[in-house]
Amino acid sequence: MKSLILILFFSALLHGQLPQDTPKPKIELKYGSQREGRRTDSDMARWRGHRLGMIIHYGLYSQAGGAWKGVNYAYAAEFIKANAKVPDEEYDQLLKTFNPDRNAPKNWARLAKQMGAKYVVITTKHHEGFCLWPSKYTDFDVESTPYKTDFLGEFVSACNEQGVDVMLYYSILDWRHKSWRYQLKDESDRAEFMKYWEFASSQLEELLERYPSVKGFWFDGTWDSSVKSNGYLTFELEQRLRKINPGLIIGSRLRADETGARHFDANGQLMGDYEQGWERKLPVEPLKNDWECVMTIPENQWGYHAKWTGHVKDSIELIEMASKCTALDGNFVINIGPMGDGSIRSEETRLIQEIGAWITANGDAIHGCGASGLENQNWGWLTRREKADEINAIVFNIPISGRLTIQLRKGETIKSAAIANKKLEVEEDSGGRYLIHLPKELPKTAFVVKVQVNTGNQITAEAAKI
């Protein structure tokens, strides 16, 4: 009898008849996702088309370079206050020496442009609480330093001049503010935390008023229970900011719903405009939502650390990641951590120049492109501009056979393939499989083969998921 029950159970499992296979009932949420699918407006399309960005971590911690009183702390340099357990009064001494080069804002904007970044995310306030702009809500800001003037404003203007969009990083978590709470254990914690929330909300409104050209916010430090168990606050804050600028782009990291679910609500729907959880990791296939990956050059270092340890990425690795992100329909953002005086370490300058040189030659396979709608092959990544019948085959691994395989879909054919306008031999195999013969002389770095395709109306922008 027992074995009969087991047979019936497994047969039901195989045929999908068990109750757990029925779709989960939708949970009624007031503070969950507010939209189905991707945003379709022009502000979001602009952000999506950028594909390559730069994120800058800069604050008081940049002066310490990962060490305190002669002791080196290997963990993330922007955490030096926590790593070395520095009391507030002692940490405040860094205010007195914060005096970056006056040209730093312009230099950084120029470097971002040179790298081919179409947008920059800059830390306006990291977990340490220091504000890069003169905020009317705190004295723990740039106005209290010898630099005095509005560093952030100067940077935003410099980016505007360079035609590079700006997104503002803002840490909700604040080690410095007296009213910040990690959890709300009682009513007094709640009362204090509500004061903090109003402070942060007012600062964010202040940022929008001061810098109307910014395109969005990049939130961080939202993982503590004080925030995630009060999801309605994140919902209301998002609404409040969108009221000032309806086109704002806000990643998923700000949000929690009333069940405490973060990024995705309890029904699995994305909250915010794009998936913001891709930190130092990339997905393996195109995602249905917009998404962005932020990447450090060394291991887990965002702020300036004088002693990088572990693997340090080189430019071709970062270029491949940027290509992969484009091929998987996402944006790629490379972090730099300027030194306390505002200068950029030589390793980062070199990488920026190398990436920039590659982008100058090949950027049209990245900017404005997205997933090709075809299967990526192990020689590299395929990208395509919306509705275009040209595919970019970005080659990172040259096959020993000297042939690139491309698998088209039914009804599609390849018209031609070329590297830098030099036509290549294209051989048709069976079942939509094509072989592109590479020449003996090849560029010394990753290169793009432009492949003209007859789509036979098979590939629409929607199919290409751009």
Q: What is the DSSP string of 299-321?
A: SS--S--SS--S----HHHHHHH
Ranked by CB distance to ligand FHN, the top (closest) residue is 302
Q: Sheet of 433-437: strands edge to edge? A: 403-407, 433-437, 425-428
- Residue 235 lies near ligand FHN (rule: CB under 6 A): no
Binds ligand FHN (CB under 6 A): choice among 150, 220, 265, 290: 220
CB 124, min distance to ligand FHN, A: 12
Instruction: For residue 390, state whether it binds ligand FHN (rule: CB under 6 A).
Output: no
Shortest distance in whole angstroms from residue 125 CB to ligand FHN: 11
Applying CB under 6 A, does 174 fall inside the site for ligand FHN?
A: no
Nearer to ligand FHN, 294 or 371 (CB): 294
Q: Of 378, 385, 376, 379, nearest to 455 (Cα)?
A: 385
The binder of ligand FHN chosen from 279, 299, 386, 389 (CB under 6 A) = 279
Structure tokens, 462? 């929607």
| Residue 255 tokens, joined | 């949000």
Task: Please work out the total of residues on this chain that contact ligand FHN, with binding judged by CB under 6 A.
Answer: 6
How near is the Cβ of 226 to ligand FHN at its closest, in Å? 16
d(CA 368, CA 373) in angstroms, rounded, equals 15
Question: What would the x/- binding string for ligand FHN be over residues 300 to 319, using CB under 6 A?
Answer: --x-----------------
Helix (H, G, I), strand (E, B) or coil at 452: strand
Strands, sheet with 165-171, edge to edge from the N-terminal-most edge strand = 249-250, 216-220, 165-171, 119-125, 52-56, 331-336, 291-295, 275-279
Q: Judged by CB under 6 A, does residue 224 bind ligand FHN?
A: no
Instruction: Extract the tokens encoding 230.
Output: 């009060």
Q: Does 61 bind ligand FHN (CB under 6 A)?
A: no
Pairing verdict, β 291-295 and 275-279: parallel
CB of 219 to ligand FHN, least distance (A): 10
Find the binder of ligand FHN among 29, 294, 351, 355 (CB under 6 A). Answer: 294
SS3 327: helix
- Whole-number minimum distance, CB 302 to ligand FHN, in Å? 4
265 with 29: CB under 8 angstroms? Answer: yes
Closest approach, Cβ 294 to ligand FHN, in A, equals 5
Instruction: Quickly count: other Cβ atoms within 10 Å of residue 24's Cβ.
Output: 9
x/- letters, 69..98, toward ligand FHN (CB under 6 A):
-------x-x--------------------
Interatomic CA distance for residues 455 and 460, integer angstroms: 9
Q: Per CB under 6 A, does 219 bind ligand FHN?
A: no
Identity of the residue numbered 173: L
Q: Does 54 bind ligand FHN (CB under 6 A)?
A: no
Q: Report residue 353: phi and psi, to 5°.
A: -65, -40
Closer residue to ligand FHN in complex, CB, 98/219: 219
Give the contact letters, 430-449, x = binds to ligand FHN (CB under 6 A), - = no.
Answer: --------------------
Taking the C-alpha atoms of residue 174 and residue 125, their distance in angstroms, rounded to an integer, is 9
In the complex, least distance from residue 132 CB atom to ligand FHN, rounded to whole angstroms:
14
Which positions lie near ligand FHN, rule CB under 6 A?
76, 78, 220, 279, 294, 302
